[in-house]
């Protein structure tokens, strides 16, 4: 199939591009490079040894998106493009609502206009709100405690209504938990611009000497060690989950969690990283961060039963692969400075 990947130069998008190419699909990538680099496109091509058609385009621009659909006979769309930092969404709610909702409206309208019948939407476990873990797809969604999560919930509602309107568009919502790690080649991984908002990229910056210490936001949660518990899943498992969802996309609305079904605390992740990479990570305990919840992990039975998908890479591999990418990234930066 010929698949448009919006946000394909981003973290999860780039790894999914590799998985799509490995599975024999052709891809077109649209990304405005807001929080990514064109180098990622070159690295996707390097890993896959296949050409990527790339548009540096903001998918809130309906005219430019329409041109992409006109230029390519697309069989489906995987929509990643959107702002994604929980903390930042609390301080910049207007930007998050505008960007994430408009992009989804533009993409879904283009799908209908050009007869593209398959749409996978990059959603999030944050849509479950303060439900009790494990989160399962049949739960009634509660209000999210941050604007980022609300944008994902609203996009799901929008796409649900569009799918039910008899316009020929079938959608799958893939609710991610906490993707971490990197491609085993070490060539692509999570490389946010500026100070990271997510845990493992922050750990990597401490490990490589870019930051003096890791800030851990809260150690008074009702968890095993007081730090927040998350379902960390290898980004290549998440990528492969998209391939399974695309293959098994049925008519109407489909919802799947992509996670491991196991919770790991912040301190447990730090200790695992230290163990597998033989690096000490200094940290300081800070106040709780607005918008965070104590515990979040997936119920994974539905994805296993309907898609045949189960995450197979463990937390140690996630930490090893992430550090391999950070070393590659640092060496590439050093080479450019010579």
Q: Active-site residue numbers?
A: 148
Helix axes 266-277, 315-337, angle to 10 degrees: 60
CB atoms within 10 A of CB 305: 9
Using CA atoms, how far residue 163 sits from 108, 137, 244, in Å, is: 10, 18, 20
Sequence length of the chain is: 338
User: What is the DSSP code string of 194-214?
Assistant: SS-SSHHHHHHHHHTTSSSSE
Q: State how far the Cα of 276 lies from the Cα of 280, in Å rounded to an integer.
A: 11
Coil, strand or helix at 179: strand
* Residue at token pair 């930092």: 85
Contacts of 65 (CB under 8 A, 6+ apart): 30, 57, 59, 106, 107, 110
CB atoms within 10 A of CB 114: 14
Q: State how far the Cα of 263 lies from the Cα of 296, in Å rounded to an integer.
A: 7
**Is the N-terminal amide bond of 134 cis, ω within 30° of 0?**
yes
CB atoms within 10 A of CB 51: 11
Using CA atoms, how far residue 185 sits from 48, 110, 191, 243, in Å, is: 11, 35, 15, 20
Closest CA to 287 of 223, 221, 198, 204: 221
């Amino acid at each position: 199939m010929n698949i448009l990947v919006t946000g394909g130069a981003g973290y999860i998008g780039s790894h999914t591009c590799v998985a799509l190419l490995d599975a024999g699909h052709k891809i077109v990538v649209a990304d405005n490079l807001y929080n990514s680099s064109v180098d990622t496109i070159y690295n996707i091509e390097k890993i896959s040894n296949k050409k990527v058609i790339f548009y540096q385009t903001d998918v809130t621009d309906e005219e430019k998106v329409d041109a992409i659909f006109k230029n390519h006979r697309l069989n489906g769309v995987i929509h990643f493009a959107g702002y994604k930092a929980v903390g930042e969404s609390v301080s910049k709610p207007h930007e998050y609502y505008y960007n994430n909702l408009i992009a989804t409206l533009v993409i879904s309208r283009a799908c209908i206009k050009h007869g593209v019948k398959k749409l996978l939407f990059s959603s999030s476990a944050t849509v479950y709100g303060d439900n009790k873990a494990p989160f399962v797809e049949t739960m009634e969604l509660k209000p999210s405690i941050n604007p980022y999560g609300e944008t994902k919930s609203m996009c799901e509602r929008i796409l649900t209504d569009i799918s039910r309107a008899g316009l020929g568009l079938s959608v799958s919502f893939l609710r991610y938990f906490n993707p971490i790690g990197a491609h085993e080649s070490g060539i692509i991984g999570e490389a946010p611009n500026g100070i990271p908002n997510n845990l493992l990229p922050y750990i990597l910056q401490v490990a490589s000497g870019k930051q003096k210490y890791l800030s851990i936001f809260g150690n008074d949660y009702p968890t095993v060690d007081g730090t927040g518990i998350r379902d960390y899943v290898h980004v290549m498992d998440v990528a492969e989950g998209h391939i399974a969802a695309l293959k098994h996309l049925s008519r109407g609305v489909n919802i799947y969690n992509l996670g491991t079904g196991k919770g790991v605390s912040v301190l447990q992740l730090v200790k695992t990283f230290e163990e597998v990479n033989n690096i000490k990570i200094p940290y300081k305990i800070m106040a709780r961060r607005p918008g965070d919840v104590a515990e979040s992990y997936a119920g994974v039975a539905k994805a296993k039963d309907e898609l045949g998908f189960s995450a197979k890479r463990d937390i140690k591999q996630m930490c090893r692969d992430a550090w391999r990418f950070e070393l590659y990234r640092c060496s590439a930066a050093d080479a450019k400075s010579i």
